[in-house]
């Protein structure tokens, strides 16, 4: 029960950044349609909120000694900086560069300058902003393991895919899946509700509502 209350508070904070949009009609990156959307670029726009959310993640893992906070992506790194600053071990913040490997698989590379900080026996706390498929987190885990470090935990703002499991302790401020639909079975399309043109992925298939029009949930 307490966890539910905390999640509601955290979701409220994220909603105040304008990143959590609901009661609308979006095309998400998979091409499926949804009523809800988390715009990851907006989630770190308010420094005081990011610090507060980063602090909660740091406190969750406060009992584990951490040498490095490891991220990939700009939003995750902004959050990771806040987590690193609030963790009692005073870890360093390292970010890996994301790319696509063979067959489109997400891969990450640690810039050479960071190499001395991630070595055999290092304790790493991985920080991600929005977890959708878990592919970035898995790539970061591989990076740590290749260097014979240890992943002490994984912290995230929002877990949109609660089916994804990791071997290391995982903590998300909000765990919430969205119902998504293929276009042919989308109840919002069937009601003729226009797609949100500002957020989500631009594809054809339904009338679009332009900038400046009604937006709900923020
Ligand atoms: Zn639809």
List the CATH number of the domain containing 58: 3.40.50.2020
Query: Residue 213 C-alpha to ligand 1 middle, in angstroms?
Result: 18
Asked if residue 215 belongs to a domain, the reply is no
Number of domains composing the chain: 1
Q: 73 CA distance to ligand 1 centroid (A)?
A: 29
The pLDDT profile of the chain, 218 residues, written as one tens digit per residue, is 588 888 888 888 888 888 899 999 999 878 899 999 888 889 999 999 999 999 999 999 999 999 999 999 999 999 999 999 999 999 999 999 999 888 888 899 999 999 999 999 999 999 999 898 899 999 999 999 999 999 999 999 999 888 899 999 999 999 988 888 999 999 999 999 999 988 887 554 444 555 444 444 43
Number of Cβ within 10 Å of residue 48's Cβ equals 8
Sorted by sequence, the CB contacts under 8 Å of residue 78 that are 6+ apart come out as 44, 50
What separation in Å is there between the alpha carbon of 96 and the centre of ligand 1? 35
Range of the domain at 6: 2-209
């Amino acid at each position: 029960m307490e966890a539910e209350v905390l999640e509601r508070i955290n979701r409220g904070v994220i909603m105040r950044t304008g990143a959590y949009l609901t009661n609308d009609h979006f095309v998400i990156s998979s091409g499926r349609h949804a009523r809800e959307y988390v715009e990851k670029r907006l989630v770190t726009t308010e420094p005081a909120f990011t610090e507060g959310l980063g602090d909660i993640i740091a406190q969750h893992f406060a009992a584990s000694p951490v040498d490095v906070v490891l991220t990939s992506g700009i939003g995750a790194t902004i959050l990771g900086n806040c987590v690193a600053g609030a963790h009692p071990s005073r870890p360093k913040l390292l970010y890996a560069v994301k790319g696509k490997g063979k067959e489109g698989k997400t891969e990450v590379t640690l810039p050479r300058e960071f190499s001395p900080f991630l070595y055999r026996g290092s304790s790493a706390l991985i920080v991600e902003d929005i977890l959708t498929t878990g592919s970035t987190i898995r790539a970061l885990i591989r990076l740590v393991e290749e260097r014979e470090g240890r992943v002490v935990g994984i912290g995230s703002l929002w877990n949109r895919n609660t089916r994804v499991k990791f071997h290391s302790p995982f903590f998300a401020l909000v765990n919430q899946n969205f119902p998504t639909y293929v276009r042919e079975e989308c109840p919002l399309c069937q009601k003729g509700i226009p797609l949100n043109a500002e957020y989500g992925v631009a594809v054809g298939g339904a009338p679009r509502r332009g900038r400046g029009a009604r937006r709900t949930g923020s």
